[in-house]
Structure 1
Amino acid sequence: MLYAAHQQHGKLPWAALAQPAIQLAEQGFAVSPRLYTLLVQETRLQADANARRYFFSEDGRPRPVGSLLRNPDYADTLRRIARQGPAGFYQGPVAADMVRAVQNHPTPGDLTLADLASYRPKQRAPLCGPYRQWQVCGMGAPSSGGVAVLQLLGMLARFQLNTLPPTSADAVHLYSEAGRLAFADRERYLADPDFVAVPQAGLIAPDYLAARSQLIDPQRSHGPARAGEPAGVKLSAWGRDAAPELPSTTHLVAFDRDGRAASMTSSVEDAFGSRIMVRGFLLNNQMTDFSFLPEQDGAPVANRIQPGKRPRSAMSPTLVLDQQGQVQMAVGSPGGSLIIHYVAQALLGLLEWRLDPQAAANLPHYGSRNGPTELEADQQLERLVEPLRQRGHEVKLTPMTSGLSIIVRQPQGGYLGGADPRREGKVSGF
């Protein structure tokens, strides 16, 4: 995918792009407190000899905070990709080692050399919709992020959120109710459009969102929501999804000197992916984004596993354009299915509450994935538990480890950035 994007838009030589990462892999980076904590909690990573040597000391303990993780094997892999392009990864020795590791695993998989050699990235049209005076553009199916974010914004547009404090019971109530409705649609209709007729246009149509918004009672929670029926679709045609959707994603945003913007999310799924390490990198665990049940109540699940099918994700890389079509904001986050809420809340922070990027990234998180109303723990939201319960909410306090990256173009020139304090991200400029 990166190579295809470079072929269309790149300026520097392809081989030059890998040099900073090669240097970092060789020189190493310091183990952060968060990485150390994840390694302490990890129970399966040491079963892989390569991962054990890289992440752990000889006594089996995680390498301590501040110690350097050097990865010459990864530097060699990057050099091969720099020289050969995608063929350096999807064919040849790297591909052979991946297939061998998967097929010889104690729980072997079906990956073949032909699978890797035949894989191609797909370019899809962005999914855009209006919010106030802005045009918000995200990723369409098989990601569910673009649809869900636009649904959340569209259903909340009739409320004057800018008159409510961002962490008030009123704001949390309205946002969580919209979240139930968006996630009910998501678990029913979103999947790979090459295999399923995904009603994306109908799900973000203004009249459909207006009707769904009317289901939001400003004073009372309606509890678990039922999926709607966008134009031309019968609810009974599809079953509900049952995907584990494990987190562990990364995100970056960037503007260049010419004002062009990028918002990119990627994932290995579940902290350390499949726990299989080959030539300096971990293989992903992306199969957990598929539904583990192929049907529900006799109806097929749109996101069921099928050969050659791409799994649904919650990735929500987003660009915000002004009325002249110029990109003004780039936003995104890691975080599993909660990515949708992290990004939608950040957009509301920027567009409704007029927060600067860092303040938007700092906002305490909340929302519903059509289950309980979730409040971020240790963010002073405990005071909202009882007021929300009085409105009919089932409330759950939980960690919500976003990793928001935000850049906003300034009217007077230049840019402001915000990096989520919950992770290791940072803001830097040229």
Structure 2
Amino acid sequence: MSRPTRITSVTVKDIRFPTSLQKDGSDAMHKAPDYSCPYVTIKTDTELEGNGTTFTVGRGNHIVCCAVEVFEKMLVGKQLSDIFYDFGNFWQSLVSEDQIRWLGPEKGVIHLATAAIVNALWDLWAKMENKPLWKLLVDMEPEKLVSTIDFRYMADTLTKEEALDILKKMQDGKKAREEELLAKGFPAYTTSCGWLGYSDEKIKKLATEAMAAGWTRFKMKVGADVKDDVRRAKIFRETLEEDMLLMVDANQKWEVQEAIDWMKQMADYKILWIEEPTNPDDVMGHAAIAEALVPLGIGVATGEMCQNRVMFKQFLKAKAMQYCQIDACRLGGVNEVLAVILLAAKYNVPVCPHAGGVALCELVQHLSMFDFVCVSGTMENRMIEFADHLHEHMLSPVVLKGGRYMAPKDPGYVVGIKEKALADFVYPEGAEWQRMFKEGLFQQE
């Protein structure tokens, strides 16, 4: 009889990339972000190890790393078989520890840390089964998958029985959908052409190159100046072909009425959605904006900073989002993301994940692919964000063809960041950071 595999250590590294130098990732609220991640490694008493990340934009990454370390004693010594046998209850134990939960509960820095740890556990599970995460999820029996979800605070909206019914109804045709996914990939849109800090010439150049590579869906950042946003939208529309999609993202910049008035001035440019128009916790504000924009044919998208399944429940019930933007690292890892995907299915709201950052594209592709095969059964009105940054540092980078994510084949979820990148960009001692300090590009904190 084989010995059960146990967790022996949980470590975290403060990894930061200097994306602010080129204004990559710049928007109305984050003018000079340095894309960063707490990088978690869970080791076992075998050769098996799992990697997990969450995402920040630089200063503050260290705080999440400290939060990860708080959870170490809750993991070391645990058997993987015990965790995965009853993952829903284990997840609940992480977010409900009676002293740690006070720092959330289930939101903020402590929930970001939870995401990194839980993502590493799912990476372990997928590697144990020698499958990419999307395939691990697709192959699970509905009862097993539902057992990984914490249904607390959702009984008034989505019960365990309803979730099970959604999954069981979608068993028919699952094999054909998986074959379609493998053959065609999953639709994507690009944000890489429309960062707020980019010049007009750079926007035109990048959009033209993207179209030549097969992209048909684009997003631009807005919110600094309405006349400038209208002008930039005009550049996009004059550059893009007639039937191509254009979305805009304000990153929480506006007041409610300001958002409505601003978008009325942009309506001539056939905007599919306005993303995060106001404070990400303002359910009723988003609902008011959504209602006002219906006559213009503009939907509201939000969710990348929606902190837990309970917030998503409110947004969906209030009709405050027409596009559900799950984030693989803002929510508490895969378990909670599964809950939100099922909630969105009940309300017939398409899931269009937030991505970009560090490893977010690599992560969310698995979640959308599971959604298509097992939950929604359609790719219509669904797409995954893509930003062309930092993939060269990933052990298993995303593969895109003609503006579509191709299904990952490597076992795992996060899979990992290359050793050289970890050595070069660990903060502050990494070789690249030391070089930039010496050259005066950054000041060490």
Q: TM-score, normalised by structure 1?
A: 0.32
Which of 1 and 2 has greater Rg?
1
Counting helix residues as a fraction of each chain, which structure ranks higher?
2
Q: Which has the higher contact order (CA 8 A, sep 6+)?
A: 2
